[in-house]
A and B are shown apart, each in its own frame.
Chain A
Amino acid sequence: AQSVTQLDSHVSVSEGTPVLLRCNYSSSYSPSLFWYVQHPNKGLQLLLKYTSAATLVKGINGFEAEFKKSETSFHLTKPSAHMSDAAEYFCVVSDAQGTYKYIFGTGTRLKVLA
């Protein structure tokens, strides 16, 4: 069975400094992995996806993530945080057989300090 673990429930960074949000996954086969962002009282917006092509995935708003099979990790990074990045971030693994249902991590709340 697949699962994801987001290693930090809260992360605080200063504006202009790098962001690192950590995610480990468990899957019995080559997974599809995603990062979504959720702003308060809003739905989920796709940041980026990994589907067994390039291991370094570039997404929207300057975010990127690197798939490391040996470490079963899919960490999300951004070189320079902006105030508008403050939100909840979810790492997601997809059941890549049949229905593609999503299994979410518990989320990481990113706080950006001025």
Chain B
Amino acid sequence: DAGVTQSPTHLIKTRGQQVTLRCSPKSGHDTVSWYQQALGQGPQFIFQYYEEEERQRGNFPDRFSGHQFPNYSSELNVNALLLGDSALYLCASSGQGGQPQHFGDGTRLSIL
């Protein structure tokens, strides 16, 4: 049973570019959440998708957007990249009823 898978594992971009990160949830899960983890910090909630809709959003600018597909997989898009967007981006999936979130290994994004 595959867990949460994220791609790519590493990515290098320059300021002003756009990036798309991908996530496949654990089998049986229908909810996907995205978190940003800056170096030495705890993860910060970006947003959550359920039934292909953004259900809740954290304190992140509109440059951060997402999508959920009918098969529950998800994408995180970041436009107009800034140096401060360098971080580990974690995807987590869960089922309903407050089940614990399962995390992928993340995508390490570096902005030059």
Q: Is the Cβ of B41 less than 8 Å from the Cβ of A106?
A: yes
Please judge, given known A-B contacts A102-B43, A102-B45, A104-B43, whether A43 and B106 are in contact too, CB under 8 Å: yes
Chain B residues, CB < 8 A from A104: 35, 42-44
- Chain A proximity mask over B54-77: 1 for CB below 8 Å, otherwise 0: 011010000000000000000000
Residue with the highest number of chain B CB atoms closer than 10 Å, among A32, A34, A103: A103
Chain B residues, CB < 8 A from A100: 94, 98, 101
Please tell me the number of chain A residues within 8 Å of chain B, measured between CB atoms. Answer: 24
How far is it, in angstroms, between the C-alpha of A43 and the C-alpha of B94 when the chains are bound?
15
CB-nearest residue of chain A relative to B4?
A: A43
Whole-angstrom distance between the Cβ of A93 and the nearest chain B Cβ: 11
Chain A CB within 8 A of B90 CB: yes
Please judge, given known A-B contacts A44-B103, A100-B98, A101-B48, whether A90 and B56 are in contact too, CB under 8 Å: no
CB-nearest residue of chain A relative to B10?
A: A41
Q: Is the Cβ of B98 less than 8 Å from the Cβ of A32?
A: yes
In the complex, chain A residues 65-114 whose Cβ is within 8 Å of any chain B Cβ: 90, 94, 96, 98-107
How far is it, in angstroms, between the C-alpha of A42 and the C-alpha of B48 when the chains are bound?
21
- Chain B proximity mask over A25-66: 1 for CB below 8 Å, otherwise 0: 000000010101000011111100101000000000000000
A residues within 8 Å of B by Cβ? 32, 34, 36, 41-46, 49, 51, 90, 94, 96, 98-107
- 27 CB contacts below 8 A, A to B, read A32-B98, A34-B100, A41-B105, A42-B106, A43-B4, A43-B106, A44-B92, A44-B103, A45-B103, A46-B100, A46-B102, A90-B42, A90-B43, A94-B98, A96-B98, A99-B48, A100-B98, A101-B33, A102-B43, A102-B92, A102-B101, A104-B35, A104-B42, A104-B44, A106-B41, A107-B40, A107-B42
